[in-house]
Amino acid sequence: MPNKKIEINGGNVVYEILGKEGDFIALTPGGRFSKDIPGLKPLARKLVEGGYRVLLWDRPNCGKSDVQFTGQSESHMRADTLRQLITALDIGPCIIAGGSGGARDSMLTTMLYPELVTKLVVWNIVGGVYGSFVLGSYYIVPSILAVRGGGMKDVARVGEWQERIAENPDNEQRILDQDPAQFLKLMLRWLNAFVPKPGQTIPGVEDELFDNITVPTLIIRGGENDMDHPKRTSLEISCLINGSTLIDPPWPEDAWERAGEARASGKVKRFNMFDTWVQAAPAILDFLKTST
Domain boundaries, the chain: 4-127+202-289
Cα–Cα dist 162/83, whole Å: 28
Predicted local confidence at residue 264, as pLDDT: 82
Q: CATH for 4-127+202-289, among 3.40.50.300, 3.90.230.10, 3.40.50.1820, 1.10.238.10? A: 3.40.50.1820
Q: Is 4 helix (H, G, I), strand (E, B) or coil?
A: strand
Predicted local confidence at residue 1, as pLDDT: 66
Whose CA is closest to 133, among 144, 141, 125?
Answer: 141
Contacts of 231 (CB under 8 A, 6+ apart): 221, 222, 223, 224
Cα–Cα dist 78/11, whole Å: 12
Spatial strand order of the sheet with 11-18 comes to 4-8, 11-18, 53-57, 24-28, 94-99, 117-123, 217-220, 245-247
Secondary structure element (H or E) that encloses residue 94, with its range: strand 94-99
Contacts of 111 (CB under 8 A, 6+ apart): 205, 209, 210, 212, 213
In single-letter form, the type of residue at position 158 comes to V
Residue 188 CB neighbour total at 10 angstroms: 11
Whose CA is closest to 119, among 216, 35, 223, 263?
Answer: 216
Predicted local confidence at residue 270, as pLDDT: 74
Taking the CA of residue 85 as centre, how many other CA atoms within 13 Å lie in the half-sphere pointing to its CB?
Answer: 31
CA angle 20, 21, 27 (to 5 degrees): 80
Q: Is 272 helix (H, G, I), strand (E, B) or coil?
A: coil
Q: From its phi and psi, is residue 204 left (phi > 0), alpha (psi between -120 and 50) or beta?
A: left
Secondary structure element (H or E) that encloses residue 26, with its range: strand 24-28
Q: Going from the first residue of the chain to its last (292 residues), give the mean pLDDT of each consecutive group of 10, the final group possibly shorter.
A: 92 98 97 95 98 98 98 97 98 97 98 98 97 96 98 98 98 98 98 97 97 98 94 98 97 90 78 91 98 92
Residue 2 CB neighbour total at 10 angstroms: 5
Taking the CA of residue 48 as centre, how many other CA atoms within 13 Å lie in the half-sphere pointing to its CB?
Answer: 17
Predicted local confidence at residue 156, as pLDDT: 98
Phi, psi (degrees; rounded to nearest 5) at 92: -100, 160
Contacts of 274 (CB under 8 A, 6+ apart): 29, 30, 33, 37, 38, 39, 40, 99
Does the pTM surpass 0.75? The reply is yes
